[in-house]
């Protein structure tokens, strides 16, 4: 079971060619004062998985959450054009670190495994016109940091650094595949 409302996570999990259902967890996703970004995404991933795993049998439940940090500021989803322009302008010519939390719960054994994956991107020096053009074309209002690496957003970057490019999209498939294999799921 995938505990997420994200279409991006669903598309990523489809890549593993396994059967799954989607459950939309209803949790409070507010960042707690003083909470590190790593603790934040790990906590939300676990809350999503726990919400979905409650009273379920014979299931592996996957929870995931993502946030990004740039200049010690945590950025989430922009929700609208103005916020997207503000976010990309803020990250212009800077390094942004995406943190993706992952939690897998086996409802039979009650085993809980958590992980946080970091992936850094360096934005190139962008003009205001490039930012406006990108936001107008891509409309990344439902993406942390107003950025989609899997689409046109890749053109905004100078470099990328991390172990799992799918974590940048919202679900670290390399780690997830390992965790699912450890639970007996047949993934090559």
What does pLDDT average to over the chain? 95
What spatial distance separates the first Cα and last Cα of the chain, rounded to whole Å? Answer: 19
At residue 76, the pLDDT reads 87
CATH topology of domain 2-182: Maf protein (3.90.950)
Residue range 95-114: mean pLDDT, rounded: 97
Confirm whether 71 is a catalytic residue: no
Binned at pLDDT 50, 70 and 90, residue 188 comes out as confident
**Antiparallel, parallel or unpaired: β 22-23 and 2-3:** parallel
Binned at pLDDT 50, 70 and 90, residue 22 comes out as very high
Q: Which of 14, 65, 71, 142 is catalytic?
A: 65
Strands (E), the chain: 2-3, 22-23, 60-70, 73-75, 95-106, 112-123, 157-162
For 23-63, write each residue's pLDDT tens digit: 999 999 999 999 999 999 999 999 999 999 998 999 999 99
The residue extents of the domains of the chain are: 2-182
Binned at pLDDT 50, 70 and 90, residue 155 comes out as very high
- The structure's pTM equals 0.92
């Amino acid at each position: 079971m995938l505990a997420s409302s994200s279409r991006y996570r669903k598309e990523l999990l489809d890549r593993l060619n396994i059967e799954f259902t989607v459950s939309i967890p209803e949790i409070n996703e507010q960042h707690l004062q003083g909470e590190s970004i790593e603790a934040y995404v790990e906590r939300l991933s676990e809350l999503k998985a726990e919400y979905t795993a409650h009273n379920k049998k014979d299931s592996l439940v996957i929870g995931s959450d993502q946030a990004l940090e740039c200049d010690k500021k945590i950025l989430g989803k922009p929700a609208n054009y103005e916020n997207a322009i503000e976010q990309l302008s803020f990250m212009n010519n800077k390094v942004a670190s995406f943190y993706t939390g992952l939690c897998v719960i086996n409802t039979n054994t009650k085993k809980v495994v958590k992980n946080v994956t970091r992936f850094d991107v360096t934005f190139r020096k962008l003009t205001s016109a490039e930012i406006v053009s990108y936001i107008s074309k891509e409309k990344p209002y439902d993406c942390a940091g107003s950025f989609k690496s899997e689409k046109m957003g890749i053109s905004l970057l100078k470099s990328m650094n991390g172990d799992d490019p799918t974590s940048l999209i919202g679900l670290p498939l390399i780690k997830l595949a390992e965790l699912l294999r450890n639970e007996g799921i047949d993934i090559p």
